[in-house]
Amino acid sequence: MKIYVSRDMASVALGADAVAQAFADAGREVIRTGSRGLFSIEPLVEVETAQGRIGYGPVGPGDVAAVLDGSHANRLGPVDQHPFFAGQQRFTFARCGVIDPVSLTEYAAQDGWKGLEAARAMTPQAVVDAVKASGLRGRGGAGFPTGIKWQTVLDAPAGDKYIVCNADEGDSGTFADRMLMEGDPYCLIEGMAIAAHAVGARHGYIYIRSEYPFAIATMRLAIDHAAHLIAPFTLEVREGAGAYVCGEETALLDSIEGKRGQVRAKPPLPALKGLFGQPTVINNVLSLAAVPFILAEGAEAYAAVGFGRSRGTMPVQLAGNVRHGGLYEIGFGITLGELVNDVGGGTASGRPVRAVQVGGPLGAYFPPSMFHLPFDYEAFAAAGGLIGHAGITVFDDSVDMAHMARFAMEFCAAESCGKCTPCRIGSTRGVEIVDRIMAARPSISRRHPDESQDPESRNARLDDAALDADFRQHDGKGGYLGKALYSRAPSRIDTSLDAQTTLLRDLCDTMKYGSLCALGGFTPYPVLSALDYFPEDFGAPAPLKEAAE
Amino acid sequence: MEEFIEGWTARHGATRDQLLPLLHAVQEEAGYVADAVVPVIARALNLSRADVHGVVTFYHDFRRTPAGRHVVKLCRAESCQARGGAAIEAAAAQRLGVAMGETRGDGAISLEPVYCLGLCAVGPNALVDGRPVARIDGAALDRIAAEVAA
Ligand SMILES: Cc1cc2nc3c(=O)[nH]c(=O)nc-3n(C[C@H](O)[C@H](O)[C@H](O)COP(=O)(O)O)c2cc1C
Ligand code: SF4
Ligand code: FES
């Protein structure tokens, strides 16, 4: 009777190691797997029986006996039939949570390497054609057709081509890349080997953020194990160093080259002049990990699922204040409301959902009145948002949206690569403007007191007042510098709500059109959506619909 | 440190693209990247000091001063905020006796911000000396404080 317990970082954070140890101490054979992806039932223990794998969760280390005799109150029945899993279409995550992630035998037994074998029997052009026919679009955020990118690299004349996997996954609310690397690393390796065959690359890099120590260790081990199966193609892991902007593809390439992670101007495209100036395929983990299925099962099987021009499946991640958070792989077209309410079960706190942020720190905040939106690149773009890496962060009604807008600007200021002024300086000015708005708005009483009084912004206001006094005292005596500084002294600024709100919109406009990459260019999405959908948090009247409720 | 760097480059190579891996190795070995080590690294990889300094200061991970004996990296990103992260951040600073982004006077602990650990459905989260901890509440903070004091 085998026992399965996840060793995924999230499962371990919830106590899975102690649970696994308790079963091992009781003399059981324990297999550590990736996570199935539903964290409200973790730590999850699965017991192998004649009826399949029976799940119990959440369980603690003291529950061994009750699990083994089947009497535990949290018995879930056959895990495959649990509604959270039964409703999914697991093309990419089929093995995640099921097998021992670093067992080559189990990988091969569960259709592993079928895609690579099929690809090797095909010409590079035929492989690229299959990826094109699948309709696969980049899962890192921009949604660019993967096959077209590969075609450019295939057509580029050069000896040294590279495959680079973008595993920087910096967006809050996302963890699919991490789960796949920890739970089914050979799937990513196989996808990269197929890409290498398709474009004629000999070496590849997986750039993993340093915040993912488990994924780094698992990928390194898996690369060692699988080296002989992907040869002559070789792979190595590079560890990031805590810079969000290194998820941007050209900054990532500079980072691998040992430089500051600064965004490059395009053209040239990385597909033509990428890593070390050579033609380079750079793709997100999920884009590359979707490829083995496409080659093994056929492009049509992948493209048969989806919505409009968004083909195939998306591993959606439900995060934040959500009751059943986790990873839910499903064909495009499911609505935002179905994901948040039906799959996610609403908030974890039990309070009403007030906002969801889709697509990480550069994504828009949507109120429940937008829950009819189908999960589709075009539909989200039309609504002034983005799918991004498909993370959905849920907030209940205690959220202060002005505070979240301030955070978006603060994050941009902290992570800006520094190349463009609107992003580097504008974001700091944005923080200051939101601070002034928060100081000038009538206090919002219906929310938690600890949320409406941000100590940092209070300090900023005190500093402003002190500066102001200082400037006035030195007025006329400070020469050129004094005058220049005085022109920006707070007393010269119209700090009324109206003026500051106009200024904020204006600044967002400048950032949107004056930034080289999406960090500066998309930070306005969360800010403006907060302003548009939740004006009452910025001291303006509530939108009609909410007021009527 | 010079010997360590020499040995490292002998094993891994001394090309420019080894700069980040080398900085990670130096930090793992010494706990931080001292300003005095920058010229040594520059020489080893045949780069200018300014170049290496620029890289060290660009990346949030690299410290230029030693950290506390224990390091608590607390997530400040949106999904953890949605689960009460701001209140936990304030409580952590109070309970551990150190402000966010600082090292305590006695050198026992550093409290550092991190922007997402990829555990976004079970926050607020932290890495305590590299070990992931989820659903941090008052009791969890007490356990962390006890661990640090031990
Ligand atoms: C600031 C910023 C951060 C990004 N972070 C990531 C990331 O963490 N992972 C990712 O795959 N793409 C990220 N991207 C998108 C990449 O630039 C690029 O579009 C992607 O790696 C291409 O791969 P894909 O076509 O497979 O999506 C980011 C972009 C920007 C502007
Ligand atoms: S928008 Fe910001 S992060 Fe992007 S290139 Fe410009 S300065 Fe760098
Ligand atoms: S937001 Fe805290 S772990 Fe992702």
Residue A394 confidence class, pLDDT cut points 50, 70, 90: very high
> Do the beta carbons of residue A272 and residue A250 sit within 8 Å?
no
CA-to-CA distance for A193 and B15, rounded, in angstroms? 25
Per-residue pLDDT tens over the stretch A268-300: 999 999 999 999 999 999 999 999 999 999 999
Residues of chain B neighbouring A170 (CB-CB closer than 8 A): 115-116
A104-303 maps to which CATH number? 3.40.50.11540
Query: What's the rounded mean pLDDT across residues A434-440?
Result: 95
A215 bridge partner residues: none
Query: What's the rounded mean pLDDT across residues A197-223?
Result: 98
Query: What's the rounded mean pLDDT across residues A523-544?
Result: 93
Pick from A140, A92, A115, A129: nearest CA to A283: A140
Amino acid, single-letter form, for residue A351: R
Structure tokens at A42: 């973790």
pLDDT of residue A490: 63
pLDDT of residue A525: 97
How would you classify the pairing of strands A203-208 and A234-239?
A: parallel
Per-residue pLDDT tens over the stretch B51-71: 999 999 999 999 999 999 999
Is domain A2-83 classified as CATH 3.40.30.10?
A: yes
Pick from A137, A147, A228, A215: nearest CA to A181: A215
> Do the beta carbons of residue A115 and residue A301 sit within 8 Å?
no
Structure tokens at A209: 């953020």
| Helical spans, DSSP H, in A3-123 | 9-13, 16-25, 64-68, 83-86, 104-109, 114-120
Per-residue pLDDT tens over the stretch B78-94: 999 999 999 999 999 99
CA-to-CA distance for A311 and A307, rounded, in angstroms? 6
Amino acid, single-letter form, for residue A319: A
Q: Give residues with Cβ within 8 angstroms of B17, minimum separation 6.
A: A256, A257, A258, A276
> If you compute the radius of gyration of chain B from its CA atoms, what whole number of angstroms results?
18
Q: What are the percentages of helix, strand and coil residues in chain B, rounded to 5?
A: 50, 15, 35
Which whole-number Å values give the CA distances from B145 to A520, B70, B73, in the listed order? 38, 10, 13
Query: Is a pLDDT exceeding 60 seen at residue A466?
Result: no
For residue A493, how many other CB atoms are within 10 A of its CB? 17
Query: Is a pLDDT exceeding 50 seen at residue A435?
Result: yes
User: Inter-chain contact A451–B86, Cβ cutoff 8 Å?
Assistant: yes
Q: What are phi and psi of A476, to 5 degrees?
A: 85, -20
Lowest mean pLDDT of A209-218, A354-363, A466-475, B131-140, name the range: A466-475
Supply the residue whose CA is at minimum distance from atom 19 of ligand 1.
Answer: A142
Per-residue pLDDT tens over the stretch A103-147: 999 999 999 999 999 999 999 999 999 999 999 999 999 999 999
Residues of chain A neighbouring B63 (CB-CB closer than 8 A): none
Query: Is a pLDDT exceeding 80 seen at residue A474?
Result: no
User: Inter-chain contact A172–B80, Cβ cutoff 8 Å?
Assistant: yes
Pick from A139, A129, A130, A116: nearest CA to A283: A139
**CATH class given for the domain over B70-149:** alpha beta
> Strand, helix or coil at B63?
coil
B2-58 maps to which CATH number? 1.10.10
Shortest CA gap A323–chain B (Å): 9
pLDDT of residue A458: 40
Return the DSSP state at A443: P
Which whole-number Å values give the CA distances from A290 to A296, A326, A330, A339, A528, in the listed order? 10, 19, 13, 21, 34
Under an 8 Å CB criterion, which residues of B touch A?
Answer: 15-21, 23-24, 45, 54-55, 58-62, 77-83, 86-87, 90, 114-123, 125, 127, 130, 132-135
Shortest CA gap B85–chain A (Å): 10
User: Inter-chain contact B125–A13, Cβ cutoff 8 Å?
Assistant: yes
pLDDT of residue A469: 52
Lowest mean pLDDT of A208-212, A213-217, A476-480, name the range: A476-480
pTM for this prediction: 0.93
Q: Name the residue facing A258 among B17, B60, B83 (closest C-beta).
A: B17
CA-to-CA distance for A46 and A19, rounded, in angstroms? 12
Per-residue pLDDT tens over the stretch A22-37: 999 999 999 999 999 9
Quick check: A326 contacting B, CB < 8 Å?
Answer: yes
pLDDT of residue A444: 65
Per-residue pLDDT tens over the stretch B118-129: 999 999 999 999
Which whole-number Å values give the CA distances from A511 to A363, A422, A507, in the listed order? 15, 5, 6
B/e letters for A466-490, b = 16+ CB within 10 Å, e = fewer, are eebeebeebeeeeeeeeeeebeebb
Number of helices (H) and strands (E) in chain A: give both, helices first.
Answer: 26, 16
Query: What's the rounded mean pLDDT across residues A387-411?
Result: 97
> Do the beta carbons of residue A366 and residue A373 sit within 8 Å?
yes
Q: Which CATH number fits domain A306-396: 3.30.70.260, 3.40.640.10, 3.10.20.600, 3.40.50.300?
A: 3.10.20.600
Query: What's the rounded mean pLDDT across residues B88-115?
Result: 96
Number of helices (H) and strands (E) in chain B: give both, helices first.
Answer: 7, 5
Residue A158 confidence class, pLDDT cut points 50, 70, 90: confident
CA-to-CA distance for A192 and A548, rounded, in angstroms? 53
Structure tokens at B10: 């002998």
Residues of chain A neighbouring B23 (CB-CB closer than 8 A): 241
Closest chain A residue to the Cα of B74, Cα to Cα:
A211
Residues at CB less than 6 angstroms from ligand 2: A 245, 263, 416-420, 423-424, 515-517, 519-521
Give yes or no for residue A247 CB within 6 A of ligand 1.
Answer: yes
Can you give the length of chain B in residues? 150
> Do the beta carbons of residue A166 and residue A252 sit within 8 Å?
yes
Residue A459 confidence class, pLDDT cut points 50, 70, 90: very low
Closest chain A residue to the Cα of B25, Cα to Cα:
A239
Return the DSSP state at A389: T
Q: What does pLDDT average to over chain A? A: 92
pLDDT of residue A445: 53
B96 CA to centre of own chain: 17
* Domain ranges for chain B: 2-58, 70-149
Q: What is the ipTM of this complex?
A: 0.98
A280 CA to centre of own chain: 23
pLDDT of residue A234: 98
pLDDT of residue A451: 43
pLDDT of residue A495: 84
Query: Is a pLDDT exceeding 50 seen at residue A475?
Result: no
Give yes or no for residue B125 CB within 6 A of ligand 3.
Answer: yes
Lowest mean pLDDT of A304-308, A471-475, A483-487, name the range: A471-475
Residues of chain B neighbouring A399 (CB-CB closer than 8 A): 82
Q: Give residues with Cβ within 8 angstroms of B19, minimum separation 6.
A: A258, A259, B41, B45, B47, B52, B55
Query: Is a pLDDT exceeding 60 seen at residue B135?
Result: yes
For residue A144, how many other CB atoms are within 10 A of its CB? 12
In a mutational test of the pocket of ligand 1, which residue from A150, A177, A266, A284 has the highest number of ligand atoms less than 8 Å from its CB?
A284
* Domain ranges for chain A: 2-83, 104-303, 306-396, 401-548
Residues of chain A neighbouring B122 (CB-CB closer than 8 A): 10, 13-14, 39, 42, 325
CA-to-CA distance for A432 and A440, rounded, in angstroms? 12
DSSP of A160-222: --EEEEEE---STT--HHHHHHHH-HHHHHHHHHHHHHHHT--EEEEEE-TT-HHHHHHHHHH
A335 bridge partner residues: A374
Can you give the length of chain A in residues? 549
> Do the beta carbons of residue A188 and residue A180 sit within 8 Å?
yes
User: Inter-chain contact A173–B79, Cβ cutoff 8 Å?
Assistant: yes
> Do the beta carbons of residue A373 and residue A386 sit within 8 Å?
no
Per-residue pLDDT tens over the stretch A55-106: 999 999 999 999 999 999 999 999 999 999 999 999 999 999 999 999 999 9
